[in-house]
Amino acid sequence: MKNDLNNLMEINIQEFQDDLITWFKNEQRDLPWRKDQDPYKVWVSEIMLQQTRVDTVIPYFLRFIEWFPTIEDLAEANGDKVLKAWEGLGYYSRVRNLHSAVKEVKEKYNGVVPSSPKEISNLKGVGPYTAGAILSIAYGIPEPAVDGNVMRVLSRILSIWEDIAKPSSRKVFEQAVRELISHEDPSAFNQALMELGALICTPTSPSCLLCPVREHCHAFDEGVQNVLPIKTQKNKQREVQLAAVVLSNEKGDLLIHKRPETGLLANLWEFPNLEINHPIQNNRDEIARLFEKDLKLNVAMDRMIGQVEHVFSHLIWNIKVYTGKISSDFIENTEWKFVSLDDTENYAFPVFTLKIIKLYKDYEKE
């Protein structure tokens, strides 16, 4: 069991590359961002795939490219439309950073994604993994693209006992890729490592008997493939109780609120909501008083129509959903507006609000 890269000396790197790339070219999934090696499409796909499953990403990617076929289209797009295209994918800072970065590419690089590691790494939201993925996949530059998948695969192949949850461990794996990567076809090599982690060298119960590089794998040889990688557990998510209210005016339109420009779920629309910290606040009248005190909304609460849960990486929101009426003297502004239920389709909402909309539509049908 070694914590360094000594096991690299025991691998025939050329055979490893050949076995891995041959398998990839024969077995790779038919994914829309693999149709060509357009740097923009590679970039969009890699941002979408962060912390999101491939099957989930595919329809979003197709719609996003349909709406914004080129860097110029995305750079010139309205921010609300960009958020709408991303609606439901979560981690919205990813698309806000992408939008900012493509504007810089349009202005500074004439719409061409830079092929220099230094220049591409200076773009907003482009970290070491994304930079390496774009440079290797789109431009054929032998740069490492190390994510959790790749760290898991290499921890087993090279029997690396570093904790992959620690940021400092990334350097070990980046160095390993630099030693192993094919300079003839870095695009296929990096994609093959990712594909191997997704299809064969999975987090639990890896399919070692199907693995194209099993003969090179030290963990398989030592019988520790189910022990590696070493990964410490994250802190437990904090649970938060909230109340949200679907407020209608005399016309039946619904009041929505735009979240601040920074912070969690920035610039997305939602129904009025607030945190509930005390059991007595489950009382409808008490909740109405809180909405008046904290959000300056004069509301008449109707009834609770259900509850939705939304899970973040660090939080779990448990949201009780109410209906109610808003006073007729409420004045709209840039942050608050009335929309019909049908018109909610034209606004970008976080997933928890989409759940509330569905709950409300079901309630209205009753």
Direct distance between the N- and C-terminal alpha carbons of the chain, in angstroms, rounded to an integer: 63
Please give the distance of CA 183 from its chain centroid, rounded to a whole number: 30
Let me know the angle formed at the C-alpha of 102 by 107 and 256, rounded to the nearest 5 degrees: 120
| Beta bridge partners of residue 256, listed in sequence order | 337
Dihedral-angle region of residue 243 (phi above 0 means left; psi in -120 to 50 means alpha; beta otherwise): beta
- To the query of whether residue 46 is one of the catalytic residues in this protein, the response is yes
Burial of residue 164, with CB atoms counted within 10 A of its CB: 0-12 exposed, 13-18 middle, 19 or more buried: buried
CA atoms within 13 A on the CB side of 237: 11
Q: How far is CA 127 from the centre of its chain?
A: 14
Amino acid identity, residue 99? H
Q: Which residue out of 10, 46, 162, 184 is catalytically annotated?
A: 46
DSSP secondary structure of 6-44: GGGGGS-HHHHHHHHHHHHHHH----GGGSS--HHHHHH
Query: Rounded CA gap, 222 and 237, in Å?
Result: 35
Contacts of 279 (CB under 8 A, 6+ apart): none
* Structural contact between residues 337 and 262, judged by C-beta atoms closer than 8 angstroms: no
Active site residues: 46
